[in-house]
């Protein structure tokens, strides 16, 4: 048996793990790398294996850094099933087509720009998207639904169980029993673990045993602010911008998970009288679909979210005004609004999609605010804003940063260091080997150290990209 770390090793994005035993080869996740030109190169050379030889894929959840290269895997010859929860399937129907659409538009823009800069060249090679919308649609037929807590066998040598990870709708911890000869090993993939008490979704499921454990470490070196302080900061950012400075609030947010969290919190703060009348514009073509999918899977929501939904349905006359923006013309009209708007738009790391247009028109305005509510990977536009950049480049144009930047970490859908440790404490004994993944190097190393120190687990390591482990 062997495990190869193909992504999310020493970094956050590109989650992908190859498992091989007795001629069987399968993947857990097949995610897109994100963050600058280097990420694009990685995505185009991501497969250090022949996709035709992969028997199946197990997917932890729908976020693009875990699922985004699946259609490309299919284009390169993968024909097997991809096992997902029902909610993840529904989300992927929207997210992967949207990902493909963004890539097609990005390729169109790049080719136009290159043709303009190299008008004299007759042999200029066209920049191609990783996959097209048609290719994404073709791939989606390979998804197979699996229910939480229902053991299944995708192969005679493999048994699996998906447990609720509490990260986004449909997210899963994967328990995997792998048999070779007369030996069976249990491998647990944490996927992305949610922060207990987080809005909308339920808390992560405790796991009691693993021989081999892969645990995420996105926030392995820090603690989130508690929810009370987080909401205080969110209320201040919104009221100070809308009322005191008479500007706009721009919130980059992942369309799935974070956008629904924010809508729930804004409704709840309005109900509590902490925020006044609001015009909230959710500008993402798939945000309405993602919100509808959330309502479809209402059984997966926590009690607070159900209460907020009930309140909204009973208060048609007095509630925040939420506008879901669909077409491009409506989106462009938002850039003519000079004050009084809360604009929630994707992508969450500001590297693609409509958020770049809203940043272009609002970053230079000192009366406006940018509210960062999620993790920003290295080399992304969002990370440069968090790190205090005074000038950023958007669509080839230098944009001064005069708007106030708020970083509200307590809204993260990822467990912080304390929550990760609490989840690990449920194991009855230390796994034979624990691998700390899905975190930048400093974060992963910090979590490794604190696991060894506080839990007294000895075999804990941070794997390198493309490293291979035999067990």
Q: Is residue 10 located within the same domain as residue 133?
A: yes
Q: Is residue 79 located within the same domain as residue 149?
A: yes
* Count of domains for the chain: 2
Domain CATH number, residue 173: 3.60.15.10
Please give the Cα distance from 152 to 158 (Å, whole number). Answer: 8
Q: Is residue 206 located within the same domain as residue 315?
A: no
Nearest to 254 by CA among 356, 358, 334, 374: 374
Q: In what order do the strands lie in the sheet with 433-437?
A: 152-155, 158-164, 172-180, 183-189, 212-216, 433-437, 460-461
pTM of the complete model: 0.87
> What is the extent of the structural domain holding 40?
2-116+127-222+414-470
Stretch (H or E) spanning 191? none
Residues 6 or more apart whose CB falls under 8 angstroms from that of 166 comprise 193, 194, 195, 196, 198, 201, 202, 203, 204, 205
Torsion of CA 312, 313, 316, 322, to 10 degrees: 50
126-153 pLDDT, tens digit per residue, is: 789 999 999 999 999 999 999 999 999 9
Q: Is residue 218 located within the same domain as residue 302?
A: no
CA angle 424, 426, 430 (to 5 degrees): 65
SS3 state at 250: strand
**Rg (Cα) of the chain, in Å, rounded?**
22
**pLDDT recorded at residue 385:** 95
Ramachandran bin of 350, using left for φ above 0, alpha for ψ from -120 to 50, beta for the remaining angles: left
Q: Which of 114-123, 129-138, 284-293, 431-440 has the lowest mean pLDDT?
A: 114-123
Nearest to 57 by CA among 155, 182, 185, 200: 155
352-402 pLDDT, tens digit per residue, is: 789 999 999 999 999 999 999 888 888 889 999 999 999 999 998 999 999
The dihedrals phi and psi of 468, each to the nearest 5 degrees, come to -120, 135
Q: Is residue 259 located within the same domain as residue 270?
A: yes
**pLDDT recorded at residue 37:** 75
**pLDDT recorded at residue 121:** 63
Domain boundary among 396, 411, 426: 411
Q: Is the pLDDT of residue 283 over 70?
A: yes
Q: Is residue 174 located within the same domain as residue 310?
A: no
Residues 6 or more apart whose CB falls under 8 angstroms from that of 449 comprise none
166-206 pLDDT, tens digit per residue, is: 999 999 999 999 999 999 999 999 999 999 988 889 999 99
List strand residue ranges (DSSP E) for 86-171, in order: 143-146, 152-155, 158-164
Domain CATH number, residue 340: 3.40.50.10890
Q: Which of 107-111, 296-300, 363-367, 389-393 has the lowest mean pLDDT?
A: 107-111
Q: Is residue 168 located within the same domain as residue 76?
A: yes
Q: Is the pLDDT of residue 119 over 80?
A: no
Examine residue 395 and state whether it is found in any structural domain, yes or no.
Answer: yes
Q: Is residue 218 located within the same domain as residue 232?
A: no
Examine residue 333 and state whether it is found in any structural domain, yes or no.
Answer: yes
Examine residue 121 and state whether it is found in any structural domain, yes or no.
Answer: no
Q: Are 325 and 331 in contact (CB under 8 A)?
A: yes
Examine residue 325 and state whether it is found in any structural domain, yes or no.
Answer: yes
Q: Is residue 187 located within the same domain as residue 231?
A: no
Q: Are 320 and 263 in contact (CB under 8 A)?
A: no
Examine residue 122 and state whether it is found in any structural domain, yes or no.
Answer: no
Q: How many CA atoms lie within 13 A of 336 on its CB side?
A: 5
Q: Is the pLDDT of residue 38 over 90?
A: no
Predicted confidence band of residue 317 (pLDDT cuts 50, 70, 90):
low
Examine residue 427 and state whether it is found in any structural domain, yes or no.
Answer: yes
Axis-axis angle for helices 287-296, 258-271 (nearest 10): 80
Please give the Cα distance from 218 to 349 (Å, whole number). Answer: 14
Predicted confidence band of residue 122 (pLDDT cuts 50, 70, 90):
low
Q: Is residue 440 located within the same domain as residue 382?
A: no
Axis-axis angle for helices 417-424, 441-450 (nearest 10): 40
Q: Is residue 400 located within the same domain as residue 418?
A: no
Q: Is the pLDDT of residue 251 over 90?
A: yes
196-226 pLDDT, tens digit per residue, is: 988 889 999 999 999 999 999 999 999 998 8
Report DSSP letters for 314-378, one per residue: H-SSSS-EEEEE-SHHHHHHHTT--SSEEEEES-TTSSSSTHHHHHHHHTT-TT-EEEE-S---T
Q: Is residue 185 located within the same domain as residue 330?
A: no
DSSP state of 33: P
Q: Which of 19-23, 305-309, 463-467 has the lowest mean pLDDT?
A: 305-309
């Amino acid at each position: 048996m062997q495990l190869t770390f193909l992504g999310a090793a020493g970094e956050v994005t590109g989650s992908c793990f190859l498992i091989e035993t007795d001629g069987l080869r399968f993947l857990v996740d097949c995610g897109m790398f994100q963050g600058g030109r280097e990420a694009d190169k990685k995505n185009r050379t991501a497969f250090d294996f022949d996709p035709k030889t992969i028997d199946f894929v197990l997917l932890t959840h729908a976020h693009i850094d875990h699922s985004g290269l699946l259609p490309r895997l299919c284009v390169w010859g993968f024909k097997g099933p991809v096992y997902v929860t029902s909610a993840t399937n529904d989300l992927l129907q929207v997210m992967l087509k949207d990902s493909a659409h963004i890539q097609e538009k990005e390729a169109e823009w790049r080719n136009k720009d290159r043709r303009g800069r190299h008008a004299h060249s007759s042999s200029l090679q066209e920049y191609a998207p990783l996959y097209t919308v048609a290719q994404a649609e073709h791939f989606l037929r390979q998804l197979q639904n699996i229910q939480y807590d229902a053991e299944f066998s995708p192969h005679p040598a493999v048994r699996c169980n998906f447990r609720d990870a509490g990260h986004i709708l449909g997210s899963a911890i994967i328990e995997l029993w792998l048999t070779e000869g007369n030996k069976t090993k249990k491998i647990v993939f944490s996927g992305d673990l949610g922060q207990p008490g987080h809005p909308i979704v339920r808390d992560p499921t405790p796991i009691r045993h693993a021989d081999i454990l892969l645990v995420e470490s996105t926030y392995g070196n820090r603690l989130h602010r508690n929810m009370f302080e987080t909401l205080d900061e969110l209320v201040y950012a919104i009221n100070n911008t809308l009322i005191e400075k008479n500007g706009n609030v721009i919130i980059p947010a992942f369309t799935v998970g974070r956008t629904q969290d924010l809508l729930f919190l804004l409704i709840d703060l309005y109900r509590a009288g902490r925020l006044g009348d609001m015009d909230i514009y959710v500008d993402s073509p798939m945000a309405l679909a993602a919100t509808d999918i959330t309502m479809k899977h209402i059984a997966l929501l926590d009690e607070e979210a159900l209460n907020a939904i009930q309140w909204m349905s009973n208060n048609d006359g007095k509630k925040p005004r939420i506008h879901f923006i669909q077409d491009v013309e409506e989106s462009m009209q938002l850039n003519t609004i000079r004050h009084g708007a809360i604009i929630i738009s994707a992508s969450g790391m500001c590297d693609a999609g409509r958020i770049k247009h809203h940043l272009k028109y609002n970053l230079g305005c000192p009366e406006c605010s940018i509210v960062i509510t999620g993790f920003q990977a290295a080399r992304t536009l969002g990370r440069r804003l968090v790190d205090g950049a005074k000038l950023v480049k958007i669509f080839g144009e230098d944009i001064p940063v005069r708007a106030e930047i708020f970083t509200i970490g307590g809204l993260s859908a990822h467990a912080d260091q304390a929550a990760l440790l609490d989840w690990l404490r449920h194991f009855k004994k230390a796994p034979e080997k624990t691998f700390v993944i899905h975190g930048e190097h400093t974060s992963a190393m910090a979590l490794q150290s604190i696991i060894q120190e506080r839990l007294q687990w000895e075999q804990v390591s941070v794997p390198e990209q493309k490293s291979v482990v035999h067990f």
